[in-house]
Amino acid sequence: MSQQDDIEYQLDTLAIRTGHTRTFEGEHSEPIFLTSSFVCESAADAAAKFSGQIEGNTYSRYTNPTVQAFEKRLAVLDGAEAAVATSSGMAGVHAITLAYLKAGDHVVCSRAVFGSIISLFEKYVIKFGVEVTFVDLEDLDGWKKAVRPNTRLLFIETPSNPLAQVGDIQAIADIAHAQGALFAVDNTFCTPVLQQPLKFGADLIVYSSTKYIDGQGRALGGAVVGSAKLMEEITGVIRTLGNSLSPFNAWIFLKGLETLSLRMKAHCASAQKLAEWLDAHPKVEKVYYAGLPNHAGHELAKKQQSGFGGVVSFVVKGEREGAWTVIDNTRFLSITSNLGDVKSTITHPATTSHGRMSAEAKQAAGISEGLIRVSVGLEDIDDIIRDISRGLDLI
Ligand SMILES: *Cc1c(COP(=O)(O)O)cnc(C)c1O
């Protein structure tokens, strides 16, 4: 796609064609620039590049063509001006805190965010004099009440993990902006294929590309997406800290974006089937999937998402013993906490991802002993259902 092309292409075309400028070799697939530095033509050329007078690569902690291709492609899919790739999803969240918070500031964060994000705020960011209040994702009144004159950042993940709570992006953006605060959305579960948070007023999007963007469980990485202006400071932080994305991982994610749309549709279709099957099963007490009309976030998810995602959680009878029976009687589902993979994965949140929480905190967060989370992969859905049914029949 040439720079001059003024046609408005659809997402599926952009995901395959954006970001790569063909080199003089005429390569068809995007090349991996595995090089730590770049050679200048002369001392004057080096001086001009290092001073920023002319654009050009100098060192891969700053820029790398493969990483830039991934950044451009991801930004376009989100309808954003810019993206900055990071060495992991957590590196992206960390960059947001370093770029936009200082001593004396206050953050309001959803209680239902990825566990390491809670630790980042509670254990580390707090050391630098930044206060954090955690609120219930769905409680808009709670968000309004938590905001203070010194609030600088609101942070959510929607739909949440593992209970698929849905946050109202537009409403929380309005609360943030009334206070002059930034609003960041972790869009790892939906990806730009299913949800584009900037359209509903978010300022920043953060991704763990380790999940669906890779799609085959190979590499760690992430990105922050937003306006060119907001990305300036994030770029500065990443270049200085050095948690930049490796060109090899960038290439994996770049190729992942090409099939992301097809994969997300397939994940959604299978997850919907599994959720409906579980919902009708006598050994299942509750199913958490926003694609079910009885789910509290169903209508809101329909408004801001174009699909309900690939993660289904459910509570089985028999508490921990029941849940472990289901998990241990699967034959091919992987007992691993990664998600967004073509391979289906199954976990028991109460003793793994949420195992460090106190019993009271788990109860408050709805992480019961009978809860199981499945990231529905792309194996045949009837085989997936049979694998899960084996243990259910034994409870
Ligand atoms: C995995 C994950 C992260 C953290 O990403 P890493 O790549 O593991 O650092 C953040 N948010 C969500 C929703 C995740 O699933």
The response to whether residue 208 sits with its C-beta less than 6 Å from ligand 1 reads yes
Least Cα distance to 150 among 181, 121, 171, 177 occurs for 181
Whether 323 and 385 share a structural domain: yes
How large is the average pLDDT for residues 162-168? 96
Question: What pLDDT sits at residue 102?
Answer: 98
Whether 175 and 314 share a structural domain: no
The response to whether residue 309 sits with its C-beta less than 6 Å from ligand 1 reads no
pLDDT in tens, 253-300: 999 999 999 999 999 999 999 999 999 999 999 999 999 999 999 999
Residue with CA nearest ligand 1 atom 4: 89
pLDDT in tens, 95-112: 999 999 999 999 999 999
Ligand 1 atom nearest 117 alpha carbon: 10
Whether 36 and 181 share a structural domain: yes
Whether 277 and 216 share a structural domain: no
Whether 252 and 316 share a structural domain: no
CA of 39 to the centre of ligand 1 (A): 35
Whether 237 and 341 share a structural domain: no
In a domain, 234, yes or no: yes
CA of 162 to the centre of ligand 1 (A): 13
How many other β-carbons are positioned within 10 Å of the β-carbon of residue 241? 15
Q: Categorize the per-residue pLDDT at 358 as very low, low, confident or very high, splitting at 50, 70 and 90.
A: confident
Tell me the one-letter amino acid at 47. A
Whether 137 and 283 share a structural domain: no
Ligand 1 atom nearest 189 alpha carbon: 13
In a domain, 90, yes or no: yes
pLDDT beyond 90 at 319: yes
Helix axes 65-77, 247-279, angle to 10 degrees: 30
The response to whether residue 211 sits with its C-beta less than 6 Å from ligand 1 reads yes
* Number of domain units in the chain: 2
In a domain, 331, yes or no: yes
In the listed set 256, 291, 310, which residue is the last one of a domain according to the structure? 256
Residue with CA nearest ligand 1 atom 6: 89
Please, is 164 exposed, middle or buried when counting C-beta atoms within 10 Å of its C-beta (0-12, 13-18, 19+)? buried
pLDDT in tens, 7-23: 899 999 999 999 999 99
In the listed set 209, 233, 256, which residue is the last one of a domain according to the structure? 256
In a domain, 30, yes or no: yes
Whether 224 and 269 share a structural domain: no
pLDDT in tens, 363-395: 888 899 999 999 999 999 999 999 999 999 999
Question: What pLDDT sits at residue 37?
Answer: 97
- Sign for the pseudo-dihedral over CA of 222, 110, 168, 202: negative
CA of 114 to the centre of ligand 1 (A): 6
In a domain, 387, yes or no: yes
Whether 355 and 209 share a structural domain: no
- Sign for the pseudo-dihedral over CA of 272, 277, 282, 283: negative
Mutation probe of ligand 1 site: the residue of 119, 163, 188 with most atoms within 8 A of C-beta: 188
pLDDT in tens, 184-237: 999 999 999 999 999 999 999 999 999 999 999 999 999 999 999 999 999 999
In the listed set 256, 277, 304, which residue is the last one of a domain according to the structure? 256
CA of 121 to the centre of ligand 1 (A): 15
In a domain, 293, yes or no: yes
Whether 100 and 212 share a structural domain: yes
20 to 3, 7, 11, 33: CA distances (angstroms): 11, 17, 16, 12
Whether 227 and 373 share a structural domain: no
What residue numbers bound the domain in which 227 lies?
A: 11-256
Ligand 1 atom nearest 90 alpha carbon: 9
Whether 61 and 181 share a structural domain: yes
In a domain, 4, yes or no: no
In a domain, 2, yes or no: no
